[in-house]
Amino acid sequence: MLLVLEPSAGWTGTGTGAAPAGPLKPFVLVAIGDVMLGWHYDEAFKAGADPFRNLAPVLRGADMAVANLEGPLTARGRAVAGKRFIFRVPVERARRLPLAGISVVGLANNHIMDYGAIGLADTVAALQGAGVAFCGAGVNEAAARRPAYVSPKGTRVAVLAYNWTWPASFQATARKPGTAAANPAWVTRDVRRARAECPVVVVLFHWGQEKSHSLRDYQRGFSRAAVEAGASLVIGAHPHVAQGVERIGNAVVAHSIGDAVFGGARRRDEDSLILRAAFAETGLARVEFLALETSNLGTDYAPRIRTGADARKVLNLVRKLSKDLGCALAEGKTAEGWPCLVLDLPAP
C-alpha cells in the first residue's frame, strides 16, 4: 500500500494551496468509528497487548484508512470542568495508529479538548510525528475547517471533519482553538472548495444521540448539504452504536458506524461497523459494511469482526434501519469470507 501524506495544516493554519482535481484512480478506503487508546486500554498495553491486532489486516489492506480519534494525546493540561467522562491518551500511542494502517483521523468530537488547548497542541504534534493526517480541530476556526489531504493510489482525497455535540465551548472560533462546528453553510463552502481541488471528498460528522439507533432531526439535512456540495462519502460517529445508511444520488451516508477500538468501557458491546468503500474511475462504486464486536472483556481488549449468527444480528438491524431511510442494502460476503452488507452504485 502506497500512501502519500500531505500536510494537514490543522494546527499551524498554513494551507497546501489549490490544485486541479485531477484524475480518479481506483482505490479502497476503510473507515472505523471511535478510537480511544486510553483508560481501560492502559491495562492491555501494560500487558503487551495490541488492541488493533484483529483489525489491522483490514485497515492495512486498504489504500487509506480513516478513524475518529476520541481523546487527546497528551500528558499535560488541566481537565475541563463539568464533564462526566474525561479522556487522555499517552502521547507515545500515536504511533499505534499508522502501525495499524490508519492514515487519517478526525479530531472533531466531544473529547479532543478534554485537556484544553495544550492537549490539542500535543495531539497535533504527536500525529505529525507519527505521520498521520488529521482534520476537524485546530488553532482557530479556519484551521479546524481545513481538510486533511491524502493520495491513495495517486488519487487526491480531501477529508473534512465536523462536530455537533456538547460542550459548545469546544468549538473553535476566530481566536480560540477547538473543533470545527457542523454549520451547514460552512460545510457547503468547505466541501465545494475541497471538491475543486480533489476528485473525492469524504466528510466525517460527530453527531447524534448516544446509544440511539434513531437519527437526530438535523442529521439528514447536514449530510445532504455535504453531498450536494460534492462529498462522495459521509461517515458519522458519536452514538456508540450503528445507525442507518442512506444513499443520495451516487453518494453514501453512514449515519453512525459506532465504536471501534474504544477504551472508555470494559464490557459494553454495541452494534458497530467497519465501512469499506471501493472507488472506480467514475466515482464511488461499492460500499461494504462488516459487523464489529467491541466488548473489551469479550475480545480480550482486541475488537474483532463478527461472524455467523452474531454478525447477522447486527447486519439485519442495520439493514432494517437503512430500509427505513429508503436505502436497500444487500446481504453478501467479503472477499475474505466475512458476512457483510453491500451497496453497489451504478456508474454515473
Domain count, the chain: 1
pLDDT of residue 11: 43
Contact present, 234 and 257 (Cβ < 8 Å): no
Q: In terms of Cα–Cα distance, which of 157, 117, 116, 119 is closest to 22? A: 157
Could you report the per-residue pLDDT of 117-166, keeping only the tens digit for each?
A: 999 999 999 999 999 999 999 999 999 999 999 999 999 999 999 999 99
pLDDT of residue 270: 77
Output the domain CATH number for residue 116: 3.60.21.10
The DSSP call for residue 282 is T
Could you report the per-residue pLDDT of 76-133, keeping only the tens digit for each?
A: 999 999 999 999 999 999 999 999 999 999 999 999 999 999 999 999 999 999 999 9
Confidence of residue 268 (pLDDT cuts 50, 70, 90): low
Q: Which domain holds residue 111?
A: 3-344
Q: Which residues lie across from 34 on neighbouring strands?
A: 68, 259
Could you report the per-residue pLDDT of 223-243, keeping only the tens digit for each?
A: 999 999 999 999 999 999 999
Mean pLDDT on 205-232: 98
Tell me: pLDDT of 37 over 80. Answer: yes
Strands 283-293, 339-344: parallel, antiparallel or unpaired by DSSP? antiparallel
Confidence of residue 21 (pLDDT cuts 50, 70, 90): confident
The DSSP call for residue 79 is P
Question: CA 172 to CA 11: how far, in whole Å?
Answer: 12
